[in-house]
């Protein structure tokens, strides 16, 4: 088992290097002279050259990338051009908000998606099934930022039930979390329904029924356990889209998370900040995927068996 | 000498594949609704200038700021007194064409890479799939935002960003569709006849792999429209005063309590287009699935 986990962690390393390389390469093509941006329009060419030398901008691309990686491994993502503060500290400071938002919406997506998916499959062709599939179709078609606006309009401005901005209590996260989770809920619901439908047609389910097992035990103990495997992978992947969605939704609900930091940095052309945020979120997503892979090994006895034999 | 009796050649009527798919599609009422709604939007793009002249979408009318929907202005007016109906109609050109263009270009590039990977296998396959898997590891919106950050805001830059970001997904889908074909005997037979690789890919592999790809493409257009409007909503897409659904939502956000009609119309347009494409894609999947053939 530990060999499997070690293998997964080792696979992560080249992927992480590749991800940082891709983001660093894209960002290094940002047009505009950084030194002029820092020193202002009146800067002399000599001063600009001096600053470029100090910042290491006159070095070749690969040297700059290597420098970045060395600093990154020490938790140093550079200094923001605009605020002059450490990029890493600023991200860490804002990360809890994004994390709460992502986890909150993940919980809703899993709860609603799994439950409705199971119900739709168990009661195939019933009104529940129709409702479930229709809901999944609708949720997949709604632009989440628009849904967020409409919910602010209804629940905050018209009814005054829930706050539309701020992040002090968990109540502040209700609307943003529902907004972010729509796409993932649809994906989880559809996949759960399909895999459940396949599973309950298997022979071992028929055997369980023939043995006189209760319906609840058949669904939750025999069918769900097997149907869940592909769903877990998709939950991991969906976490990425939740993180991406959080970037947009943070701006809808004026939340000060990593997403709004990233957007602000993009508008101000603050390259180290943009690179830092992107690398940080991608890194976090990788860690989630790694966790899902490890969880998978615990749930799927086939993986366990393979590593115990060898 | 008796005359040889020649039996009249029986005519074998070959049913065209398209007709067969169309027949099965017609049975699915919801997907036909989707097709009709989408056709309406396509007609809106083509005939936008005939429905409302473009200048009306930009014309500012100070006296009618925030006017609610009325007979003269079907969807009301925005904060500059511009007709929202005209802006939604002309905005469809930017929003919808973005989605279609992103999927079209992405599918061509992704399809080429996937055919190379799927057909040749080995090292070519490994290199292409490793690169696309790595890009796939970066969340979609994050990758798109990074590219827009590097290129700067603008409609074309957003198009480039979402196209590049979506390519790995297309490579995966198309490659798996191709892999199910490549192992077949008729591909081997084609090779034995001395057909060139390009000929086999275009003539034998592509037509057989096209079903699932069309289904994915249809649904992806809806997703891409949502993504491109998200970029415009964030102010990174098309620049004002050009009409675009996402940008209209961003403008209406500040006034949504007093003038909710400003965000309802563009938002509903996005939902309708995406929903129609999803319904259509669903129907196409069922119609193209040979397992469901009756």
Name the residue with higher pLDDT: A7 or B16: A7
pLDDT at B9: 56
Average pLDDT over residues A221-245: 87
Q: Is pLDDT larger for residue A304 or for residue A200?
A: A200
Inside any domain, residue B77:
yes
In a domain? residue B17: no
Round the average pLDDT of chain A to a whole number and report it: 86
Q: Give the mean pLDDT of A257-275.
A: 87
In chain B, which residues have their Cβ closer than 8 Å to the Cβ of A139?
none
Q: Contacts of residue B139 in chain A, CB cutoff 8 Å?
A: 240-241, 243-244, 281-282, 285
Sign (positive or negative) of CA dihedral B63, B57, B102, B44: positive
Distance of alpha carbon B52 from the chain centroid: 25
Q: Can you tell me the mean pLDDT for B204-223?
A: 86
Closest chain B residue to the Cα of A243, Cα to Cα: B139
Establish whether the linkage from the previous residue to B218 is cis, with ω within 30° of 0.
no
Least confident of A2-11, A113-122, B11-20: B11-20
User: Mean pLDDT over residues B126-137, rounded?
Assistant: 88
- Contact flag B146-A27 (C-beta cutoff 8 Å): yes
- Is A26 in Cβ contact with B222 (below 8 Å)? no
Interface test with A, best of B141, B216, B262, B280 (most A CBs within 10 A): B141
Q: Average pLDDT, stretch B97-111?
A: 93
Least Cα separation, residue A225 to chain B (angstroms): 27
Please state, in angstroms and rounded to a whole number, the distance separating the CA atoms of residues A119 and A220: 11
Least confident of A71-80, A106-115, A186-195: A71-80
Q: Looking at chain A, which residue has its C-alpha nearest residue B131?
A: A18
The region of weakest confidence among A47-51, A115-119, B126-130 is A47-51
Q: Flag if B263 and A146 touch (Cβ within 8 Å).
A: yes
Residue B270 lies in a domain: yes
Say if B111 falls within a structural domain.
yes
Query: Where are the alpha helices (H) located in chain A, listed in sequence order?
Result: 2-28, 34-39, 45-55, 61-73, 87-122, 127-141, 144-151, 174-199, 203-210, 215-217, 224-252, 258-268, 271-299, 301-309
Burial category of A133 from C-beta neighbours within 10 Å (exposed 0-12, middle 13-18, buried 19 and up): middle
Q: Give me the pLDDT at residue A61, please.
A: 85
Measure the CA–CA gap between B129 and B175, rounded to whole angstroms.
9
Comparing A286 with B10, the larger pLDDT belongs to A286
Q: Could you write out the DSSP letters of every residue in B248-286?
A: HHHHHHTTTTT-THHHHHHHHHHHHHHHHHHHHHHHHHH
Is the CB of residue B244 less than 8 Å from the CB of residue B91? yes
> Nearest CB to B234: which of A140, A143, A248?
A248
ipTM: 0.85
Judged against a pLDDT cut of 70, whether residue A119 lies above it is answered with yes
* B11 part of a folded domain: no
Integer Cα distance of B201 and B115 in angstroms: 7
Query: According to the model, what pLDDT value does residue B13 have?
Result: 58
A32 vs B140, higher pLDDT: B140
Rounded-to-integer distance, Cα B44 and Cα A205, Å? 51
Total count of residues recorded for chain B: 294
Question: Does residue B93 have a pLDDT over 80?
Answer: yes
Give the confidence band of A59 by pLDDT, cuts at 50, 70, 90.
confident
Confidence of residue B120 (pLDDT cuts 50, 70, 90): confident
Nearest CA in chain A to B133: A15
Domains and CATH numbers, chain A: 87-309 (1.10.3720.10)
Please give the C-alpha separations between residue A274 and each of A36, A268, B80, B120, in angstroms, as whole numbers: 18, 10, 34, 38
Angle between helices B84-120 and B122-137 (to 10 degrees): 150
Q: How many CB atoms lie within 10 A of CB A250?
A: 25
Residue B293 has pLDDT above 60, yes or no: no
> What do you get for the CA distance between the two ends of chain B, in Å?
50
Q: B62 or A255: which carries more pLDDT confidence?
A: A255
Whether residue B15 lies inside any domain: the answer is no
Token pair, residue B230, equals 């998200």
The answer to whether the CB atoms of A138 and B152 lie below 8 A apart is: no
Cβ-based contacts of A265 with chain B (< 8 Å): 149
Interchain contact, B146 vs A274, CB within 8 Å: yes
- Between B214 and B4, the more confident residue is B214
Residue B43 pLDDT more than 90? yes
In a domain, B234, yes or no: yes
**What pLDDT, on the 0 to 100 scale, is given for residue B36?**
95
Contacts of A20 in chain B (CB under 8 A): none
- Parent domain of B221: 24-292
Please give the average per-residue pLDDT across B81-86, as a whole number: 87
Q: pLDDT band at B7, cuts 50/70/90?
A: low
Q: How far is B76 from chain A (nearest CA, A)?
A: 18
CA–CA distances in Å: residue A217 to residues A213, A226, A230, A301: 7, 13, 21, 20
The answer to whether the Cβ–Cβ distance between A285 and B236 falls below 8 Å is no
User: Is there a contact between B150 and A19 if contact means CB atoms under 8 Å apart?
Assistant: no
Q: How many domains does the structure of chain B reveal?
A: 1
Arithmetic mean of pLDDT, B206-225 = 87
Q: Report how far residue A188's alpha carbon sits from residue A120's, in angstroms, rounded to the nearest whole number.
A: 12
Residue B153 lies in a domain: yes
Query: Among B139, B229, B275, whose Cβ lies nearest the Cβ of A285?
Result: B139
| R_g of chain B, CA atoms, integer Å | 24
Q: What is the 3-state secondary structure (H, E, C) of A273-288?
A: HHHHHHHHHHHHHHHH
Q: Cβ–Cβ of A141/B147 closer than 8 Å?
A: no
Nearest in space to B83 (alpha carbons), one of B50, B51, B57: B57
| Structural contact between residues B213 and B177, judged by C-beta atoms closer than 8 angstroms | yes
Residue A18: closest CA among chain B residues belongs to which residue?
A: B134
pLDDT in the model for residue B294: 47
Q: Taking CB atoms and an 8 Å limit, are B234 and A251 in contact across chains?
A: yes
Of the pLDDT bands very low, low, confident and very high (cuts 50, 70, 90), residue A162 is: confident
Q: Residue A283's pLDDT is what?
A: 86
Domain containing residue B55: CATH number: 1.10.3720.10
Is there a contact between A15 and B147 if contact means CB atoms under 8 Å apart? no
- Contacts of A177 by beta carbon, 8 Å cutoff, 6+ apart: A101, A104, A105, A107, A108
The mean predicted confidence, pLDDT, of chain B is: 86
Q: What is the pTM of this model?
A: 0.86
Residue of A143, A243, A252 lying closest to B139 (CB–CB): A243
pLDDT(B290) > 80: no
Inter-chain touch A248–B233, beta carbons under 8 Å: yes
Partners of residue B99 in chain A, C-beta under 8 Å: none
pLDDT score, position B139: 86
% of chain B at pLDDT higher than 90? 33
**Model pLDDT, residue A186:** 93
Chains A, B: CB contacts within 8 A come to 131
């Amino acid at each position: 088992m530990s060999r499997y986990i070690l293998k997964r962690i080792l696979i992560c390393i080249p992927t992480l290097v590749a991800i940082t390389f891709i983001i660093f390469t894209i960002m290094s093509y940002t047009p505009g002279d950084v030194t002029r941006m820092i020193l202002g329009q009146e800067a002399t060419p000599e001063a600009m050259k001096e600053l470029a030398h100090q910042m290491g901008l006159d070095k070749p691309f690969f040297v700059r990338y290597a420098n970045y990686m060395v600093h990154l491994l020490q938790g140093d993502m550079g200094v923001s051009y605009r605020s002059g503060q450490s990029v890493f500290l600023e991200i860490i400071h804002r990360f809890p908000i994004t994390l709460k938002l992502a986890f909150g919406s993940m919980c809703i997506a899993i709860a609603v998606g799994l439950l409705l998916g199971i119900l739709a499959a168990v009661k195939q062709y019933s009104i529940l099934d129709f409702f479930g599939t229709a809901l999944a179709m609708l949720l997949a078609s709604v632009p989440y930022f628009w849904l967020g606006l409409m919910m602010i309009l209804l629940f905050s401005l018209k009814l005054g039930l829930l706050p539309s901005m701020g992040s002090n209590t968990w109540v502040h996260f209700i609307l943003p979390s529902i907004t972010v989770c729509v796409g993932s809920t649809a994906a989880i619901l559809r996949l759960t329904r399909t895999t459940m439908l396949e599973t309950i047609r298997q022979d071992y389910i028929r055997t369980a029924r023939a043995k006189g097992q209760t319906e609840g035990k058949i669904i939750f103990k025999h069918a769900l356990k097997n149907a869940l495997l592909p769903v877990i992978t998709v939950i991991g992947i969906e976490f990425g889209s939740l993180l991406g969605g959080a970037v947009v939704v943070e701006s809808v609900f004026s939340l000060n998370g990593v997403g709004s930091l990233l957007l602000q940095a993009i508008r101000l052309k603050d390259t180290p900040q943009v690179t830092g945020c992107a690398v940080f979120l991608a890194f976090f997503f990788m860690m989630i995927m790694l966790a899902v892979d490890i969880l998978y090994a615990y749930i799927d006895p086939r993986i366990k068996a393979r590593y115990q034999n060898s | 000498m008796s005359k040889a009796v020649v039996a009249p050649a029986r005519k074998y009527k070959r049913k065209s594949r398209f007709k067969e798919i169309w027949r099965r599609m017609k049975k699915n009422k919801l997907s036909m609704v989707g097709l009709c709604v989408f056709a309406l939007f396509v007609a809106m793009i083509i005939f936008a200038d005939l429905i409302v002249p473009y200048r009306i979408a930009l014309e500012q009318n100070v006296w009618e700021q925030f006017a609610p929907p009325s007979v003269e202005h079907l969807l009301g007016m925005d904060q500059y007194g511009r007709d929202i109906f005209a802006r939604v109609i002309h905005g469809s050109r930017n929003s919808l064409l973005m989605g279609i263009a992103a999927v079209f270009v992405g599918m061509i590039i992704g399809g080429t890479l996937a055919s190379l990977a799927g057909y040749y296998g080995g090292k070519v396959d490994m290199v292409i799939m490793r690169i696309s898997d790595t890009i796939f590891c970066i969340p979609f919106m994050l990758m798109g935002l990074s590219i827009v950050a590097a290129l700067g805001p603008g409609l074309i830059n957003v198009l480039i960003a979402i196209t590049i970001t979506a390519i790995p997904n297309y490579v995966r889908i198309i490659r798996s569709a191709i892999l199910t074909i490549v192992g077949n005997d008729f591909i081997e037979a084609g090779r034995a006849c001395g057909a060139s690789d390009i000929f086999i890919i275009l003539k034998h592999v592509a037509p057989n792999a096209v079903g699932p790809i069309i289904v994915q493409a249809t649904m992806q257009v809806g997703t891409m429209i949502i993504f491109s409007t998200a970029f415009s909503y964030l102010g990174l897409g098309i620049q004002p005063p050009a009409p675009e659904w996402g940008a209209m939502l961003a403008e209406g956000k500040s006034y949504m309590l007093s003038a909710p009609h400003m965000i309802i119309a563009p938002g509903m347009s996005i939902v309708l287009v995406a929903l129609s494409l999803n319904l259509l894609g669903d129907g196409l999947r069922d119609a193209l699935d040979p397992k469901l053939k009756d």
